[in-house]
Amino acid sequence: MNVFRIVILFSLMMTAVSTETAAAVITYTDKLNRTVDIPVPVKRAVFLQMYEMLPALDVWDRVVGIASYAFRNGLLRKANPRLDGIPSVGSGANVNVEAILQLKPDLVITWAWHPEAIRFMEEKGLRVIAVYPESIDDLYREMALLGTLFQRQERMAAVRGEMQSIFALVRERLAHGDGSKKQKMVYLGGQSNMVSCALGINNNLLTLIGGINPADAIGQRSTLVAIEQIVAWDPDLIFIWGNAGYSAEDILTNPQWRHIKAVRDKRVYKLPDWTTWSPRLALVALWMAKKAHPQDFQDIELADVADALCRKAFRISCTAETVP
């Protein structure tokens, strides 16, 4: 009788396990509209993109390969002193497929704008998903996906909550401020005549902080425009991408820009070189909001908010020196 009970119990357990295994395959439609079945939890992952999510996910033991650019990321280095021990597998644009195949990953997370590389990796038997968050909601979706893939849903929900509280702070302060006159803002890229347009996370940020992006009429992510076009827009505020090879001073001292309101009022700001595909996106938004509406955020210390987010999201401290 006891043996019979044990057999029944064992059968039930096996059924439960197999049901769980069968159910633990998620179907995901990625940025390129490719539908990919992914068994979860992912145990061996290659991160060619979104690697700043790793300290938030805390799944370092499941990362078998990482993009070469990750080794230049100060936050990752601080979060994982053993970062150099993870094999480099190239980048989203220049994938080292042989190195990835050798690592036998369950999943490769890569950049959406190199579909040939994705197709090639798939032909070699790799399971690949393409990511490219173009808005805050897109980033939340990718974060939720990563939470599901690594069974860190609660953790990702908590990080999202931290980000949302910062975005809510921005919205709340702007709602109380004088919203009657919106400011014209442009976001300059790698060259001083490259502007962020209607698509992409930068336009999303400008809108969030109560700005009007005059380049919004151009249906692209970014484009080169004539400097006289920027003069014609006459923005109240100019933001410069943190990785640009020129400074705010370069713009402020260039006579070609002198008739632009933002230059006359000395409201040209170069952003910190933080990636926007990270929980740090919320800090970027707060940084921009403080510059755009200093009177509404004068009691907010960005360094304190940044440190709190880093501790909660990445489990490290972001010291004041890292927050401009």
Partner 1 sequence: MTTRRPVCFLIAISPLVAGWCALFLGAYDVSPFIVIKSLINEVIPLAGMSDLPEQAIILDIRLPRVILAGVVGIALAGSGVTLQGVFRNPLVDPFILGLSAGAAFGCAISIGFFPEMPTQVAAFVFSIGSVFLTYNIAKCQGEVSRLPLILSGVIISAFFTALTSIVKFLVDPHKLQNIVFWLMGSFALADWRTIAVSGVGIMVSLCPVLLMRWRLNVISMGEDEAKSLGINVNRDRLIFVVSSTLAVSLAVSVSGIIGWVGLMVPHLVRMLIGPDHRTLVPLSMAAGATFMIFADTVARSLAGYDIPVGIITAVSGAPFFVYLMKRGGNESWGR
Binding site for partner 1 (CB under 8 A): 69, 72, 91, 93-94, 189-194, 217-218, 223-229, 231-232, 234, 241, 243, 245, 254-256, 258-259
Least CB distance to partner 1 at residue 323 (A):
21
Q: Is 92 or 279 the residue whose CB approaches partner 1 more closely?
A: 92
**Token output for 170:** 């921005």
Q: Is 5 or 72 the residue whose CB approaches partner 1 more closely?
A: 72
Least CB distance to partner 1 at residue 53 (A):
18
Q: Is 263 or 288 the residue whose CB approaches partner 1 more closely?
A: 263
Q: Is 243 or 319 the residue whose CB approaches partner 1 more closely?
A: 243
Q: Is 17 or 198 the residue whose CB approaches partner 1 more closely?
A: 198
> What phi, psi does 220 have (nearest 5°)?
-135, 175
Q: Is 1 or 226 the residue whose CB approaches partner 1 more closely?
A: 226
| Long-range own/partner contacts, residues 283-286 (CB < 8 A, 24 or more apart) | 283/166, 283/309, 283/323, 284/205, 285/166, 285/167, 285/170, 285/205, 285/208, 285/209, 286/166, 286/169, 286/170
DSSP 256: G
Least CB distance to partner 1 at residue 225 (A):
5
Least CB distance to partner 1 at residue 263 (A):
11
Least CB distance to partner 1 at residue 65 (A):
18
Least CB distance to partner 1 at residue 37 (A):
30
Other CB atoms within a 10 A radius of the CB of residue 256 amount to 13
CA-to-CA distance for 311 and 324, rounded, in angstroms? 18
- Residue 226 burial (10 A CB sphere; 0-12, 13-18, 19+): exposed
CB 44 within 8 A of CB 105: yes
Cα atoms found within 13 Å of the Cα of residue 38, Cβ hemisphere only = 30
> What phi, psi does 49 have (nearest 5°)?
-140, 170
